[in-house]
Chains A and B, each alone.
Chain A
């Protein structure tokens, strides 16, 4: 497999379009290398990677780590050259060795990351592939920071390197996946050059762990896992991949329709329009790069065009929108940036992405509403749920009107002791009913005249069955008690009462059964209930619940 890549790479024309299976752009490589310098942290392959097998992977991981570390830190571009030179040196040593001595890898890793010494594990695998790749690549990187033309030459160099081809293939396969978990570690401070890289590495990192099918990748992953961010590394590698792809496309705006086609074909999620876009403005796109999220890319491209470099804040905003939407394949939630990544098999134009974000928001809020509205959980489907919500809101509003009507008609003296009123909440909490509880007002007892309510807290207003019966004796307008089942003082409500209050369909006659007025009340209640029965029509207010 590797050999095939090598062969193909060798055959590749110097023109940028390396027609790999997934066509890793050489320019991306360059940009990656330039990005590498900035890294201060290291991102190591995730522990998932089983065994590093080939040089390509090694280098890939190194680059990704470099990129990621670069992403983490915010070095300015000036240090690039320095880092690149160092990198070249390291790579050269690696290349010469044929097999990477274990120490060189950590050197490289440590160099790249600067701080992490634990990176050594990432590069434990010997560099089997020809070292030439490193040198020419590094040289090209050093010479030409990111000139498109230079990239072409470097591309030629890269093409010569079979290992590179292999890596490109691997990276390219990453590029097609979603970049969930890409973080905004790079932030807006990165230069345009790095912006491209930083997005790529993140994406790459994010994707790498998912590419479980590739043993080499797994090897890489297993290598690393040193310090902290596996996912950033993956994201970065992914981003690097995608970036490489995009850069390639950038560089070949005119030619290589085949490459473009292959790019678009390979990158399932990356829209072709995007690559064309990027290719149209390579310089601007270099900063933007390859996020498979075309929408965000397009926006970012515009932003970069205007700003000259990535607008991290705008990116964050856009990404934040899509963050929730794109987590089907996200490894980790992004740190600063929330990159919206097109899901596999879904459209990736800006409109559909934004729409997907909106839909996710809406469904999230519907879930919240589901918890609020009782009985909504059984309903499936948004339309039905909306209907349920509408009914519930209508019923609540009508209940409020109903209760205010009751308040208007009942001539009760309100207990203005808020504290005591509030204490009723205790019962309300135990109330399993969804209906409002009527507080027995102490003054309400005066209606009955005989039952002084010992507990002022136990206030229950006798609801007036018919509001229109104003002329009825106040006693007759006794409100039907809707007492909390837990009001112990009112536990003497005679069982005879319930049958006398069949019309109180507010509903919970069973609660009345449990409730009780005082013993002495029962007779009065019976009396009143009879009166009530006689006088009240069935025009009780129906409380919709």
Chain B
């Protein structure tokens, strides 16, 4: 049975799958599931989740606002984690920037004149990078984000 859709090497699904597989193998290689402690499992879970987000964001590159925001978040997080000493400065600046931007965004209540402010705010919190978008772009990004999430869930890796 030939399914040309996912045989397309450049499709979002294939890109995500390859990346995620690579990340998963790396994670598995680091710590084989020998120990069954919940903490270990939880840590692995976190890593896998980050890997999934990262793979998806990298598959989309910078074409989307949400992917850019997600990548930025991941990078800032990794910088902070990797270099706590010297990275403290950068981490602080990053945090400061993030906080400042988030504060600015949260304080600016976007009245788009269409009356969906509460729902729109909720959606902004769900979609990465949504705080900076107006309703129009937010809906666009939401559509693409939903599409990517479903791709993730239905990828042939153990997820689906």
Contacts and interface: CB of A to CB of B under 8 A. Distances in A.
Interface string A401-442: 101111111111010101001111110110000001111010
Interface stretch (B69-77, B83-91, B99-107, B117-125): B117-125
A305 B119 CA distance: 42
Contacts, number: 170
Interface of B: 1, 3, 5-7, 13-14, 17-18, 21, 24-25, 28, 32-33, 35-38, 40-42, 44-45, 47-49, 52, 112-116, 119-120, 122-123, 126-127, 135-136, 139-140, 142-143, 145-147, 149-150, 152-154, 156-160
B136 A436 contact: no
Given A369-B142, A392-B146, A408-B41, 20 more contacts: A358-B114, A359-B113, A362-B135, A369-B143, A386-B120, A393-B145, A397-B126, A397-B149, A400-B49, A400-B152, A404-B52, A407-B157, A408-B45, A418-B14, A421-B157, A425-B6, A439-B157, A439-B160, A468-B38, A470-B38
Contact of B113 (A358, A401, A423): A358
Given A365-B140, A366-B139, A393-B127, A470 B158 contact: no
A373 B146 contact: yes
Nearest to B1: A426
A404 B48 contact: yes
A361 B136 contact: yes
B143 A470 contact: no
A382 interface: yes
A471 B142 contact: no
Nearest to A437: B160
Interface string A345-367: 00000000001001101100110
Contact of A461 (B47, B147, B158): B158
Contacts of A320: none
Given A365-B140, A373-B146, A393-B145, A405 B116 contact: no
Interface in A13-47: none
Contacts of B6: 422, 425
Contact of B24 (A397, A407, A418): A407
A412 B158 CA distance: 9
B149 A393 contact: yes
A399 B160 CA distance: 11
Interface string A433-468: 000111101000000000000000000010000011
Nearest to B27: A408
A141 B157 CA distance: 77
Contact of A389 (B32, B35, B142, B152): B142
Interface string A371-403: 011000000001100110110111011011101
Most-contacted residue by chain A among B14, B17, B160 (CB, 10 A):
B160
A368 interface: yes
Given A362-B135, A468-B38, A429 B153 contact: no
26 contacts: A365-B143, A372-B147, A383-B116, A386-B120, A393-B126, A393-B142, A396-B146, A396-B149, A399-B153, A403-B159, A404-B159, A405-B41, A407-B48, A410-B158, A414-B25, A418-B17, A422-B6, A423-B3, A426-B1, A428-B160, A429-B5, A438-B158, A439-B157, A439-B158, A468-B38, A471-B36
B interface majority secondary structure: helix
A393 B3 contact: no
Contact of B126 (A368, A394, A412): A394
Nearest to B140: A365
Contacts of A405: 41, 45, 48-49
B41 A409 contact: yes
B52 A400 contact: yes
A383 B123 CA distance: 12
B154 A404 contact: no
B116 to A, nearest CB: 5
Contacts of B146: 369, 372-373, 389, 392-393, 396
A366 B5 CA distance: 27
Contact of A400 (B44, B139, B149): B149
Given A372-B147, A422-B7, A470-B37, A441 B142 contact: no
Nearest to B34: A411
Nearest to B147: A372
Contacts of A365: 136, 139-140, 143
B160 A414 contact: no
B160 A436 contact: yes
A484 to B, nearest CB: 10
Nearest to B47: A408
Nearest to B52: A404
A17 B136 CA distance: 45
A539 to B, nearest CB: 13
Nearest to B122: A390
